[in-house]
Copies of this chain bind each other. A is one copy, B any other.
Amino acid sequence: MTTTSSPIEHGLVDDAPAAPEGVEPLQPTMPGVAYTAADYFAAEQASLFEAEWMCAVRSSDLAAPGAFERVQIGRESVLIVRGRDGGLRAFLNICRHRGAMLCTEDSGQVRRNLQCPYHAWTYGLDGRLIAAPNMAAIDIDGSLDRQQYGLVPVHLREWLGYAWVCLADEPPSFEDTVIGSVTERLGSSDTVERYGATDLVVAHRQVYDVAANWKLIIENFMECYHCATIHPELTEVLPEFAQGLAAQYHVGHGAEFGSEIDGFTVDGHEGFGRLPGLTEAEDRRYFAITVRPGVFLNLVPDHVIVHRMFPLAPDRTTVICDWLFAPGIEGVESSVELFHRVNVQDFEACERTQPAMSSRAYRNGGVLVPAEHHILDFHEWVTERVGPPH
């Protein structure tokens, strides 16, 4: 048996339900305060959401030059804009003059540039300050640094058809962190690439306002011990999930569809044709990957489901879920319905867990059964970056 300590998600194998020899079957979670304290959340904002790569927007949502969206990343309002050169750029959504928010709409389209509606300071789509009323009094000899007084840039990188942003001055390696999460789970990033997510279209999008700490949502996604209890439709499609208790998972393993199942739909009926790039190995399989700190990727033969998380408070997280299909596909309702139900079931579980995080019974945390031991890696990842909760 090949075991691994890397973070692995949904997907059970038949063997290895128990902890390895010498490992206690019940391992501790993080203490409750990590899920409730304002100061720990502030430290997470600084050291995770404003330090790591966060998946911000679907690139194709910003079609033409001047199209923009704003997203909340950590404590910052970030503006993503399609430039005149066709590229995407990200900036802090704040005028350099007196601090007004440039865009108060969640998305929109400007014609030529970004003008502050307070005093009309005007920035190019590349962020440069290009005009201001009475510029002559400000820039007496024409030496004003238009970049310095331009919009504050935010690092941006596109992958899988999404714009990922990083607020750190010097971002960590995208390859090591984001793509590394995928490689760790699947052995390489080849499988993911074969689904061709960049060229798929968003057939459905659902926004969830979840009254729970973001870590509860990740922990929930990382284990399938709860599947038999709360996911009747999902375990019908993926019977091995009903076993609910693999200790460790094989790298690269995808959960197999049940023999009676024709597609990844709410009632198991046929979906759509296999996406063009896929191999036989990916057919009739479900792969799930967590990209820390805020993305879940779900791969099935005929579509891809992408969750983006935006933690807003210790007990509140927005999750945006996109269902991506091949262009031209119609009638995706029963495909969408399956994972929408899974989402609702999961988020309700997280919401009923959140209030108990402040109980004296969770002061030293709860316990992880062997099928959940890989969550320890996630906790270690958090603690290394944010420090121990206290």
Number of copies of chain A assembled together: 3
Residue of B nearest to A362 (CB): B99
The yes or no answer to A77 lying at the interface (CB within 8 A) is: yes
Q: Which residues of B contact A358 (CB under 8 A)?
A: 75
CA gap between A329 and B274 in the complex, in Å: 72
A29 beta carbon closer than 8 Å to chain B? yes
Q: Is the CB of B137 within 8 A of A247?
A: yes
Q: Do B349 and A117 touch across chains, with their CB atoms under 8 A apart?
A: yes
Majority SS at the chain A contact face: loop
The CA-CA distance from A134 to B242 in the complex, in Å, is 11
Chain B residues closer than 8 Å to A99, beta-carbon distance: 29, 32, 353, 356-357, 359, 361-362, 365-366
- A244 → chain B, closest Cβ, in Å? 5
Say how far A344's CB is from chain B's closest CB, in angstroms.
14
Roughly how many angstroms separate A137 CA and B77 CA in the complex, as a whole number? 46
Q: Establish whether residues A133 and B244, one from each chain, have CB atoms under 8 Å apart when the complex forms.
A: yes
Chain B residues, CB < 8 A from A361? 92, 94, 96, 99, 152
Q: Determine whether A63 belongs to the interface, using a CB cutoff of 8 Å to chain B.
A: no
> Which residues of the other chain, B, contact A164 by a CB distance below 8 angstroms?
none
A133 touches B225 (CB 8 A): yes
In whole angstroms, how far apart are the Cα atoms of A372 and B96 in the complex?
15
- Report the minimum CB–CB distance from A338 to chain B (whole Å): 20
Asked if B96 and A369 sit within 8 Å, CB to CB, the answer is no
Mark the stretch among A17-25, A304-312, A381-389 that contacts chain B: A17-25
Given contacts A18-B140, A117-B230, contact A77 B359 (CB under 8 A): yes
Within 8 A of B (CB), among A197-217: none
Q: How far is the CA of A362 from the CA of B101 in the complex (A)?
A: 11
**CB-based contact B32/A245 at 8 Å:** no
Residue in B76, B120, B230, B349 whose beta carbon sits within 8 Å of that of A229 in the complex? B120
- List chain B residues, Cβ under 8 A from A76: 359-360
Q: Which residues of B contact A139 (CB under 8 A)?
A: 25
A98 within 8 A of B: yes
User: Among residues 26 to 76 in chain A, which have CB atoms less than 8 Å away from a CB atom of chain B?
Assistant: 26, 29, 32, 75-76
Question: Across the interface, do B359 and A18 meet the contact criterion of CB distance under 8 Å?
Answer: no
Closest to A151 in B: B361
Complex Cα gap A362–B77 (Å) = 12
Say whether A118 faces chain B, with CB atoms less than 8 Å apart. Answer: yes
Quick check: B229 and A100 within 8 Å, CB to CB?
A: no
Contact partner, A92, options B17, B119, B167, B360, Cβ 8 Å:
B360
Complex CA–CA separation, A152 to B363 (angstroms): 13
A131 at the interface (CB under 8 A from B): no
A18-B140, A19-B137, A118-B353 known; 12 new pairs, CB 8 Å cut-off, are A25-B137, A32-B99, A76-B360, A77-B356, A92-B359, A93-B356, A95-B366, A98-B219, A101-B352, A101-B353, A134-B370, A137-B245
